[in-house]
């Protein structure tokens, strides 16, 4: 990662040496592959035979990640799945759990849109209506920012993870790994800074900010009268039977099988960053598996989580205008309500949301109709991958998986 790139907690690369913030076509699967994909056991699953191209693509992702990462990928088309993994030493469990980081934002967006469908909130509601006085000071104005702005990253609000003081504190990972600062306090950090822009008449402007999803957490809790965590559990995790998905909250321990996360520490020694509570809010708090992430995105785009009107709203994208780092990481496509759209080489596009935390990196992809999907989990094994290179390699893997390429 270049030295001039900002470190984003839960949305971009993590460099502890500087600042610690925070597949082949699936048609025609063999009988063995389909048998291996049957069921949804909560225990350890055996590996299905993979495909030569998926193996090659996973190896390429590991290489793009600098070699000091472990990679697990799983692709599905409804009739079965194929999986592949790569990495030195102890292998990543096939059903490994990982911190999904900013992929959590899509879960949060689903809850907000369900509440909108139930007329418990409106996408045109202002932040000021729900959270009087919270977005104010230093040019911030909650009466100018809507729920839709928060969901699609068009609020212009400062990203709290870029606060210099916060970044300095997080250099000492071991001291702060059990921190559970509530969303409201992180929003207050963001309010110390001027917004990048203020939404208004004319061209819509865009810039990624984790602060948006902390505000959504607070609004969701008021509108739905339950904590964000419980609403995700009741509205998404339980209905879909995502038995490998949870929200850790203050609990620093990883549930179930998982890979060890090792980062380069500030002192040059390896740092075990597997267990922590830092990512506990609506912008980054979901823990999942490749199987469950696939199930979630296929159900979402297949119309099982949102009514047609809300799914249409989610897939209405805007141009990313004011965030060159984000465009460098994701050169093509727009941003909807908690999802990205990226073109496919075979025509059309796919939907996804990345997640980058303290060593785990999640990449996803699902077709417009929800029929094909792929989930990739990358785990730091002593290194920190360059985001541009990693994203290029994972995009190739996703494109091959969703376009049904056979190499």
Predicted confidence (pLDDT) at residue 71 exceeds the cutoff of 70: yes
Cα distances from 99 to residues 231, 237, 338, in angstroms, run: 19, 15, 17
Q: What is the pTM of this model?
A: 0.89
Predicted confidence (pLDDT) at residue 76 exceeds the cutoff of 90: yes
Q: Can you list the alpha helix ranges (DSSP code H) found in 225-277?
A: 228-232, 238-240
| Average pLDDT of the segment spanning 299-312 | 98
Residue 282, helix vs strand vs coil: coil
- pLDDT tens profile 233-276: 999 999 999 999 999 999 999 999 999 999 998 888 899 999 99
* Chain position carrying tokens 């980058």: 356
Predicted confidence (pLDDT) at residue 37 exceeds the cutoff of 60: no
**Residue 50, pLDDT score:** 58
| Average pLDDT of the segment spanning 54-68 | 97
Better-scored residue on pLDDT, 14 or 151 = 151
CA 76 from centre of chain: 19
**Residue 406, pLDDT score:** 52
**Residue 281, pLDDT score:** 97
- pLDDT tens profile 124-180: 999 999 999 999 999 999 999 999 999 999 999 999 999 998 876 657 888 889 999
d(CA 116, CA 101): 24
- Considering the chain, what is the average pLDDT of its residues? 88
| Average pLDDT of the segment spanning 21-29 | 33
User: Is residue 136 within 8 Å of 191, Cβ to Cβ?
Assistant: yes
Predicted confidence (pLDDT) at residue 4 exceeds the cutoff of 70: no
- pLDDT tens profile 210-221: 999 999 999 999
């Amino acid at each position: 990662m270049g030295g001039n790139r900002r470190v984003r907690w839960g949305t971009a690369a993590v460099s502890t040496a500087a600042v610690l913030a925070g597949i082949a076509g699936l048609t025609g699967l063999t009988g063995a592959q389909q048998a291996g994909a049957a069921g949804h056991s909560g225990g350890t699953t055996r590996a299905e035979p993979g495909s030569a191209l998926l193996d090659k693509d996973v190896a390429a992702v590991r290489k793009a990640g600098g070699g000091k990462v472990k990679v697990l990928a799983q692709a599905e088309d409804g009739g079965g799945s194929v999986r592949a993994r790569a990495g030195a030493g102890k292998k990543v469990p096939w059903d490994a759990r990982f911190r999904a980081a900013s992929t959590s934002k899509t879960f949060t967006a689903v809850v907000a849109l369900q509440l909108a469908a139930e007329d418990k909130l409106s996408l045109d509601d202002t932040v000021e209506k729900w959270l009087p006085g919270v977005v104010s000071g230093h040019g911030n104005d909650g009466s100018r920012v809507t729920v839709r702005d928060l969901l699609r990253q068009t609020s212009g609000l400062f990203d709290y993870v870029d606060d210099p003081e916060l970044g300095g504190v997080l250099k000492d990972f071991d001291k702060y790994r059990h921190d559970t600062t509530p969303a409201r306090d992180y929003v207050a950090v963001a309010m110390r800074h001027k917004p990048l822009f203020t939404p208004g008449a004319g061209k819509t402007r865009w810039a990624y900010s984790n602060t948006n999803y902390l505000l959504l957490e607070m609004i969701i809790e008021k509108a739905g009268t339950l904590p964000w965590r419980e609403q995700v559990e009741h509205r998404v995790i339980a209905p879909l039977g995502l038995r490998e998905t949870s929200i850790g909250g203050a609990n620093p321990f990883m549930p179930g099988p998982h890979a060890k996360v090792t980062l380069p520490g500030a002192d040059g020694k390896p740092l075990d960053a597997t267990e922590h509570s830092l990512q506990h809010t609506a912008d980054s708090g979901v823990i999942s598996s490749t199987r469950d992430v696939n199930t979630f995105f296929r159900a979402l785009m297949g119309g099982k989580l949102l009514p047609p009107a809300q799914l249409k709203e989610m897939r209405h994208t805007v141009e990313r205008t004011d965030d060159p780092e984000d465009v460098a990481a994701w050169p093509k496509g727009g941003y909807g309500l908690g999802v990205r759209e990226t073109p496919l080489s075979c025509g059309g596009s796919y939907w996804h949301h990345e997640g980058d935390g303290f060593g785990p990196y999640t990449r996803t992809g699902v077709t417009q109709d929800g029929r094909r999907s792929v989930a990739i989990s990358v785990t730091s094994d002593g290194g920190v991958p360059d985001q541009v290179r990693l994203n290029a390699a994972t995009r190739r893997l996703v494109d091959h998986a969703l376009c049904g390429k056979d190499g």
